[in-house]
Structure 1
């Protein structure tokens, strides 16, 4: 994995997301109840606060959970809910250490199908069906992970040419299109359509 993502809209943070499978997973985990850019800048902020150039699942899993939550709570906080998100990241890293020897990319490296990969993603702490489908779409559309049936497994997020999620953001223009789509969806939901 060594691509340029444009999710944090900060060069250093985006560079980390593009080269670090764990950073990409953590960014996706943080992507709720905060602006996308804030969420995906989180892994870079965490790495810097840990005095590292990357995130390490073994190191985070070995961290005292309360101390790790404090690390995320330092000003400016990594998330609107730094305590609970710190615990989720800690749980994610413990799971990765236990099931994948700490290698986040192992979640998708040998997946035989999109369905299998979706199941693996849904097993990750903090990853429900929608988050798993969105991340599966991001893996396929931008990170070159393309097991058979991945578009179908990703549901609407896997559609080519769509602008519905982080999987479709490659720069400012596509970011604006994704935001417009989300506003349309919100308006439709509010009006009962």
Structure 2
């Protein structure tokens, strides 16, 4: 039984996210400078264009780079910056092949603590600290991956009952709450910016 995910807000894309941890990692990677639903529907679009019902890190890792850019750039594009993101998705898959035999779940399977898991996520290409913490919170809150200290390692994103990020989205209502939180955080940051 796979977890029910609502990050793409599109049944087929969410179904893939529910059964594929690689799809979750790729969606998280794509989640920047585009609406979250667009980012998390990207793995499904990529799989469809590859003629698959799932993503395979080994296949993507060795895919012709120019052809992969073309795959992500076809209309509708997978991301606002399909060329840059095609490169990042391939780098992520190459890293997974090199370090984890292409198995995304191996990133967290044998970790002993949230701190160790955060370090592993932070080492993934395209994952900075914030993205790693959000994904760690997503693993803990929605995917049942909860090594000791995972909430602390995820920082504020691990807080129970919060509505800060993709980790907290379980449907349209929570999506609206996360959007409202982000909008308010942006407004507060702008207000406290130097020169105001």
Query: Aligned pair count?
Result: 193
Q: Cα deviation per residue 1:136-164 (whole Å; 9 max; x = unaligned)?
A: 00000000000000000000000000000
> How far 1:70 moved relative to its partner?
1.0
Structure 2 distance, partners of 1:64, 1:123, is 24
Structure 2 distance, partners of 1:166, 1:152, is 17
Structure 2 distance, partners of 1:134, 1:175, is 15
> How far 1:190 moved relative to its partner?
1.1
> How far 1:83 moved relative to its partner?
0.2
Give TM-score, length-normalised by structure 1.
Answer: 0.99
Asked if residue 120 in structure 1 is aligned to residue 120 in structure 2, the reply is yes
Gaps of 5+ in 1: none
SS of the equivalent of 1:6 reads coil
Asked if residue 37 in structure 1 is aligned to residue 37 in structure 2, the reply is yes
Structure 1 residue runs of 4 or more that deviate by more than 3 Å after TM superposition: none
Give the corresponding residue for 2:136: 136
Give the corresponding residue for 2:108: 108
Gaps of 5+ in 2: none
> How far 1:64 moved relative to its partner?
1.1
> How far 1:60 moved relative to its partner?
0.2
Give the corresponding residue for 1:23: 23
Give TM-score, length-normalised by structure 2.
Answer: 0.97
Structure 1 distance, partners of 2:184, 2:31, is 19
Give the corresponding residue for 1:150: 150
Q: Pick which of 116-125 and 60-69 moved more.
A: 60-69
Q: Name the Cα RMSD after superposition.
A: 0.9
> How far 1:65 moved relative to its partner?
1.4
